[in-house]
Amino acid sequence: MDRVLNGFSERLATAGLAWEKDILFLALDDAVLASDPNHPDREVLEQALLALQPGALACIRPAEPYATILAFFLEQRPQVLAPRDSETRLFLHDLPVASEFSAQALVQGLKNRKGMVLPGPRLAALGPLTPEQAFVTLSSLCFAVFVLFFSDYLEDLRAGRATPEQRAAFARAASFLPPVRTDRPGLVQGPFDGPAQVCAAMAQAGRATVDFGLVDSAFGNVSALLDRTVWISQTGSSLDLLEGDLVACALDGSSCEALTASSELPAHAGIYAAAPATRCILHGHPKFAVTLSLDCDRPDCPDRGQCHLRCPAKRTAGGAIIVPGETGSGACGICHTLPPALRGGNAAIVLGHGLFATGRRDFNEAFAALLGTENACREEYFQRVRDLGG
């Protein structure tokens, strides 16, 4: 178990979310296990763990730019943060913000939520069952506060209410952004000749998407069409570790093996049906594409607050169409909105969620569309900021 905990610390560090010394994972079986027994936060965290009795509890002091972003939010002294990205809406609801780092504050925040913000600045996350859940929630928290900060800034500039502190925090956070990547990974070339090659290509594409910072390991999904079968990543898989985590879903519906497929299988299947030349789909959560998708210049829109379900405007960002829609197969599911959007182009942004890119031959085209759109969105974001005097 100790090795498992250290594995998660390493993965957070590799993803650039925190330095390893600033990460602490605790797990509870019949005794408490710690990724770093001498960590200064251990006592506080362990008290909270014993009070809450989940499978695991983790806490990080995030690296930049998250540290700057969180320090700014903490200055405002809100009781909760309410990010508008879909992952937070669906799984985390909102994020309690504590005014002190104490066991009591952790218990108060986490007795009804999976993740929270604390002074330090720190992020804490519960693993109700396993440490992996805390790991997933921590990366979700980082993503959520990033998108919240950058989209709030644009909105506040537009409304003329950006404060000097906000401008300063923005300049500082922006200075920590990693450089724009313009290189391309050389991915397996199609057409794919069988399941083994398809699986290898999918694993490779998933890893490159994570490596390029276009999605956190725990999110996103990838699929490829081979004959009448959609190969897709399983739900709860790590996009950079897909070997052995792919499942074949027969489009004729003769088996229910796809019960463990990504929850976006209906959207993927819909895209293959709507755009028959499509051979593969790559889905990531690139931060600026998501941030821009939330930027709306119609403050009086009657559907405001419901944008992620039914944004009526035809909008684009970085050259890609933006569509509303929720995860899964509900009435507002992206399985209804994405396929028509991808009939014409090879990239579409789901509002507040992420980007779907397609390839007609292999993942090189999809990857290029994903990275190209994100780079264009990043440029467009800063252009909009400059235009608004920020």
Partner 1 sequence: MHGPCSLLTADLGSRTCGVLRLPEETLRLFPGGRGLAGHLLRPSAHLPWDHPDMPVLVLAGPLSGTEAPCSSRCHLVSRSPLTRAFGDDAVGGGLGLELARAGFLGVLLTGKSPAPLGLEIHDGHARLVDAAALHGKTTDQVFAALADWGSAACVGPAAEHGVRFASVQVDRLFSAGRCGLGLCLAAKGLKYLAVSGSGAVPVHDPKGLAAARADIERLFHASPVLRGPQGFGRFGTAALLDLTQSRSMIPTENFRHTRCPGIERCNAPALAARFGFQPAACPDCPIGCVQQDGHGRALPGIEALSQFTALLGLVDPDLAVEALDLCGKLGLDPVSAAGSLAAWAEVTNQKPTAWTVLNLLEDMALGHGDGALLGQGAQRLAQELKRPEAAMTVKGLELSAFDPRGACGLALGYAVSTRGACPWRALSLGHELLRKPVPTERFSWSGKARMVKLGEDALAAAESLPVCRLTLFAAGLEEYAKALAAVTGVPATAQDLARLGKRVVYQERLINAALGFSAGDDDLPGRFFREPGDPGQGFETPPLDRAAFLEARARYYRVRGLDHNGLPVRDKAEELGLTWTVS
Contact residue for Zn ion among 62, 83, 286, 354 (CB under 5 A): 354
Cβ neighbours for 273, distance < 8 A, ≥ 6 positions apart:
339
Asked whether position 229 contacts partner 1 by CB under 8 A, the answer is: no
Phi-psi region of 98 (alpha: psi -120 to 50; beta: other; left: phi over 0): beta
Q: How far apart are CA 174 and CA 184, in angstroms?
A: 24
Residue 265, interface with partner 1 (CB under 8 A)? yes
Complex with partner 1: residue 261 or 311, whichever CB lies closer? 261
Structure tokens, 202: 């999918």
Shortest CB 186 distance to partner 1, Å:
29
Instruction: Determine if 257 is a binding residue for partner 1 (CB under 8 A).
Output: yes
Query: Is position 328 an interface residue for partner 1 (rule: CB under 8 A)?
Result: yes
* Minimal distance, residue 310 CB to Zn ion, in Å: 19
Give me the least distance between CB of 8 and partner 1, in Å please. Answer: 12
Q: How far is the CB of 283 from Zn ion (least distance, A)?
A: 6
333 contacts partner 1 (rule: CB under 8 A): yes
Question: Among partner 1, Zn ion, none, what does residue 354 contact (CB within 5–8 Å per kind)?
Answer: Zn ion
**Tokens (6 digits) for 81:** 């943060």
User: Is residue 316 a contact point for partner 1 (CB under 8 A)?
Assistant: no
Rule CB under 5 A: is residue 284 a binding residue for Zn ion? no
Verify binding: residue 196, partner 1, rule CB under 8 A: no
Q: How far is the CB of 155 from Zn ion (least distance, A)?
A: 23
DSSP class of residue 333?
B
Determine the size of the site formed for partner 1 (CB under 8 A): 50
DSSP assignment letter at 82: -
Phi–psi pair at 53, nearest 5 degrees: 55, 40
Q: What is the spatial distance between Cα 300 and Cα 323, in angstroms, rounded to a whole number?
A: 19
Do 9 and 51 contact (CB within 8 A), yes or no? no
Interface mask (CB under 8 A) for partner 1, residues 266-295, using x and -? x--x--------------------------
Least Å distance, CB 151 to Zn ion, is 17
Sole window of 170-178, 191-199, 257-265, 370-378 interacting with partner 1 (rule: CB under 8 A): 257-265
The token duo for 388 is: 């608004």
Find out whether 340 and 325 touch, Cβ atoms under 8 Å.
no
Q: Which of 141, 143, 127 is nearest to 35 (CA)?
A: 127
Shortest distance (Å) from residue 81 CB to Zn ion: 20
Site string (111-150) toward partner 1, x via CB under 8 A: xxxx------------xxxx-xx--x--------------
Asked if 65 is part of the footprint of Zn ion (rule: CB under 5 A), the reply reads no
d(CA 154, CA 157): 5
d(CA 351, CA 292): 9
Helix (H, G, I), strand (E, B) or coil at 358: strand
Structure tokens at 41: 């936060």
Cis peptide before 40 (omega within 30 of 0): no
Q: Cα(216)–Cα(380) distance, rounded to whole angstroms?
A: 22
Q: By CB under 5 A, name the binding residues for Zn ion.
A: 354
Q: By CB under 8 A, name the binding residues for partner 1.
A: 1, 4, 27-30, 52-55, 89-91, 93, 111-114, 127-130, 132-133, 136, 234-237, 249, 253-263, 265-266, 269, 326-330, 333
